[in-house]
Amino acid sequence: MLLCVVLLLTTQITVAQSKKIDSLFNIATNGATDTNNTKAYILLSEIYKNIQVDSAELLAQKGIDLAQQRKQLKMEAYGHNAMGYAKYYKGDYKASIVSFQQYYNTAEKIKDKVAMGFARNNEGNVHIELGDYVTALEKYNEALELRIEAKDSIGIAMSYNNMGYIYKDLGDYEKAIANFLYALKIYENRNDKKAIGMTYNFLGSVYWRKKDFAIAHQHIEKALKIHQENHDDGNTAICLHTIGAVYGDEKKFDSAVMFFNKAMVIYEKSNDTRQMGLIHADIAEVFERQQMHDEAIVNYLKGISYNNAIGNKRSQASLYTGVANAYLQTDNVSKCKLYLDSSLQVISMTQKKEDFKNYYKVQSDYFKKTGNHSAALKSLDLYTIYKDSLLNEENQKAIADMQTKYDVDKKDQQIKLQTSELMRRNIMLIGLGILSLLFLLLGISYYNRLKLKQKSRLQAEIMKQQDMATKAVIEAEENERKRIGSDLHDGVGQLMSAAKMNLSAIEDRVVFHSPEDKQAYEKSIALVDEGCREVRAVSHSIMPNALLRAGLSNAVKEFIEKLDNRKLKINLHAEGLNERLDSNIETVLYRVIQECVNNVIKHSGANALDISLIKDSDGISATIEDNGKGFHVIDKQKGDGIGLKNIQTRVTYLKGTLDIDSAPGRGTLIAIHVPLV
pLDDT in tens, 621-653: 889 888 888 888 777 666 555 567 777 877 887
Instruction: Indicate the DSSP class of residue 639.
Output: S
In the chain, % of residues over pLDDT 70: 78
Report the pLDDT value the prediction gives residue 390, as an integer from 0 to 100.
62
Report the pLDDT value the prediction gives residue 10, as an integer from 0 to 100.
43
439-445: long-range contacts, CB 8 A cutoff, minimum separation 24: none
Q: Which region, left, alpha or beta, applies to residue 581 given φ > 0 means left and ψ of -120 to 50 means alpha?
A: beta
| Phi, psi dihedrals of residue 631, rounded to the nearest 5° | -165, 170
Helix (H) or strand (E) holding 623: strand 619-626
- At 269-292, the pLDDT tens digits run 888 888 888 899 999 999 999 999
Report the pLDDT value the prediction gives residue 370, as an integer from 0 to 100.
92
* CA nearest neighbour of 624 among 654, 565, 667, 653: 667
For residues 453-465, average pLDDT:
69
Residue, of 516 and 376, whose pLDDT is higher: 376
Mean pLDDT of the chain: 80
**Strand ranges across the sheet with 608-616:** 569-575, 608-616, 619-626, 668-675, 657-662
Report the pLDDT value the prediction gives residue 203, as an integer from 0 to 100.
92
Model confidence at 325, pLDDT cuts 50, 70, 90, reads: very high
- pLDDT for 597 beyond 90: no
Distances (CA, A) of 482 to 211, 474, 547: 107, 12, 12
For residues 582-607, average pLDDT:
81
- At 153-191, the pLDDT tens digits run 889 999 999 888 888 877 788 888 999 999 999 999 989
Question: What's the rounded Cα separation, in Å, for the pair 631 and 606?
Answer: 13
Question: What's the rounded Cα separation, in Å, for the pair 9 and 526?
Answer: 102
- The CATH class of the 546-675 domain is alpha beta
Helix (H) or strand (E) holding 154: helix 153-170
Report the pLDDT value the prediction gives residue 392, as an integer from 0 to 100.
62
Report the pLDDT value the prediction gives residue 472, as an integer from 0 to 100.
56
Q: What residues form DSSP beta bridges with 624? A: 611, 670
Model confidence at 507, pLDDT cuts 50, 70, 90, reads: low
SS3 for 236-280 is: HHHHHHHHHHHHHHCCCHHHHHHHHHHHHHHHHHHCCHHHHHHHH
Report the pLDDT value the prediction gives residue 31, as an integer from 0 to 100.
81
For the chain, domain boundaries: 421-543, 546-675
Report the pLDDT value the prediction gives residue 13, as an integer from 0 to 100.
53
Report the pLDDT value the prediction gives residue 9, as an integer from 0 to 100.
41
Report the pLDDT value the prediction gives residue 529, as an integer from 0 to 100.
66
Report the pLDDT value the prediction gives residue 467, as an integer from 0 to 100.
59
Report the pLDDT value the prediction gives residue 636, as an integer from 0 to 100.
66
- pLDDT for 482 beyond 70: no
